[in-house]
Structure 1
């Protein structure tokens, strides 16, 4: 759930993504065949699909909604965390994914590479670029 919330930006959509993943996997595999990395990959792919659909809808309607600006969100999270989440949302998709997998789920480079379907060196370089950009977004020195 944490992975999906951080990638799609809201709890309701994240719950839908996770529920869809479990519904698709139900009955197809034995529970012993399911690995945590496989489930993470499924949630990541489901989140990507949601974000693609969301981008298409935004292009069609030309209206941009910023979920982090809602009063409810401001009450639920502190101002500094809100700033970090806003800066995180402005990062490119792959950089955001790398940071979420590394710092929110505490995964190692090898696990992140497996989930994202890239090499470990790509994970390291993407994470470094993402951190540098996040610090710039937050107005802090590298």
Structure 2
């Protein structure tokens, strides 16, 4: 059975952009990442043995493309010795995010990459622990322990009890 890419696009575009924004911290770049992930899904859909795995493939693609974006940023900063341009948020950005939400996102962005990815996938993107484990190439137990360590670090950063 072929993969219905237009249906997956209609159903998953927003969630994938939200995931990518949390990973790359930039809406325009996140949309580019998701677009590229959908192009890859369309190009490689014949390779999927199980059409139901398409969303997982897409999520993994968004994660990997986001990692690539972040690596390119680091390389550009190192070699060009120029800071990334100021992030220009939309006029309604701060109105949409509560102060607590901004603080929580700031604390999550300070975490090591693996902890940040697990928490973003688990609490903002919604896949199961098994799906997160498959996406990141780790065991479900590692998802649980990484999430626990990440949450403890976020609580410490926010001044809560760990």
TM range (shorter): 0.7 to 0.9
Aligned length: 141
Q: Deviations over 1:24-43 (max 9, x none)?
A: 23243248735211111111
* Larger Rg computed on CA atoms: 2
Matched, 1:90 2:110: yes
- In the alignment, structure 1 segments of 5+ residues that lack a partner are none
Shift of 1:124: 1.0
> For residues 122 and 97 of structure 1, what CA distance do their matches in structure 2 show?
12
Following the alignment from structure 1 to structure 2, what is the Cα–Cα distance between the partners of residues 129 and 112? 16
1:5 corresponds, among 13, 21, 24, to 21
User: What is the aligned-residue RMSD (CA, Å)?
Assistant: 2.2
Q: 1:40 maps to which residue?
A: 59
Higher relative contact order, chain-length normalized (CA < 8 Å, sep 6+): 1
Please report how far the alpha carbon of residue 62 of structure 1 lies from its aligned counterpart in structure 2 after TM superposition: 4.7
Q: Aligned with 2:148: secondary structure?
A: helix
Residues 4-46 of structure 1, C-alpha deviation per residue, up to 9 Å, x if partnerless? 1111111111000001111223243248735211111111101
Whole-Å Cα distance in 2 between the matches of residues 67 and 78 of structure 1? 19
1:16 aligns with 2:35: no
TM-score (norm 2): 0.77
Paired with 2:160 and 2:30, the residues of 1 have a C-alpha distance of 30
Is 2:129 the counterpart of 1:109? yes
Runs of 4+ in 1 over 4 A off after TM superposition: none
Q: What corresponds to 1:118 in structure 2? A: 138
Unpaired runs of 5+ residues, structure 2, are 1-16
1:53 — aligned with what? 72
